[in-house]
Structure formats: C-alpha cells, structure tokens
A and B are shown apart, each in its own frame.
Chain A
C-alpha cells in the first residue's frame, strides 16, 4: 500500500512569511498526526486528528500554527508568520486507529532565514 505522502519536501522562507504543508495519509487510516522535529532531537507532536476532529493540539503554538483535516483524509499545516526557530522537519504520520502503529511520511524540511 502507498505510504504517507507529504509536500513540499523542502521549503525556504524568510521570517514573518507564511508556509503551508500538505499530507495525505495511508488509505483507511483514521488518525493523522503532525510532528515537529528540530535538528538533533526526536519528533514532537504538534496536533493529532481522529477523522476530521482534533484529539490533541496541546503542544501546537496556536498563535502562529494552524492545521485542518476538513474531510477526514488530507490535512494541511500552516505557519503564519514564521519565526527562525520554526526551522525543522514537519513530519506527517498516520495510524489505522488511535493506539495502532504509527507510520511516518518523508517529512517537509523548512528553513526560515
């Protein structure tokens, strides 16, 4: 089966600009996650969706980050305005249900200059 698809793979923007990342999870997976991975660290959860509803967004910096999964399939993560410290890999992941094994996409690599 096809894996988790993400785009774009790489993005360079100036601080205060905006950026959006797109994710298409594995077919049939109800749970979708966005993780942020800063260089040299493990991934950290930003937001978790169950179908089109938010399950956990406690670590999402809501003043600048937003995410949606309107039809319960694809998802978009937006950063506006970006800060230098937002430079990281944004990983989308999915699982069939909550508590099932989580599979990751290749990531979207953001550099804010």
Chain B
C-alpha cells in the first residue's frame, strides 16, 4: 500500500487564490521531503527540499514567496501556491525519504501527485 499520501489529488481554482497541497508519510517519520513539478509530457523538476523544523531549500529559479513550504511535523509537509495564476497550473508531486534503511538505502517514496488547474 501507499506509504506517502498526497492531498488533494486534483484541484481547480480561480486565479489569485492560494492553494495548499499536503504530503504525508504514513508509516515512517520523514525529516526530509521533496516537492517536484511536472509539466505535461515532461520530466519531474525538483522545486525544493523540505526539512523538518527548518527552512526549505529551494532550487534555482523557484520563487520562495510563490511556493511556500512548511514542514512542521515529521509526517507532514505542505506546499502552498500563493496567488496562483494559470501559468502555475501543473502536476505537483511530493516524495519523502524513508530513513528506515541503513546507510545509503534510504529510498524516496512518492505521492500520487496533485493536478492543479488555475482558471
């Protein structure tokens, strides 16, 4: 079964509103989560690394004030798209690094993604 839950799976909203997407690790504590964006028929682009209890690390070119990330607990990270506009429409996917493996064996488990459509 799924080990990472992402909610909502699909959201449609008006331009100018803010949208929050949740990413939960279901059966492990994730100090590190990742947020990706995927454009149609393209690959995943890492937006930011979410660190529990500290500020997120954003990739070059990603607007921090536009994409707010909060990782307030060991099982939950949220991505808020602020003042969303049509160009923000995309498929957003989170992942959580599973710390239960020893050494290098700490895979990332992915959520099922959120399709965001801004009208």
Do A and B come from the same complex? no
B residues bordering A, Cβ < 8 Å?
none
A residues bordering B, Cβ < 8 Å?
none
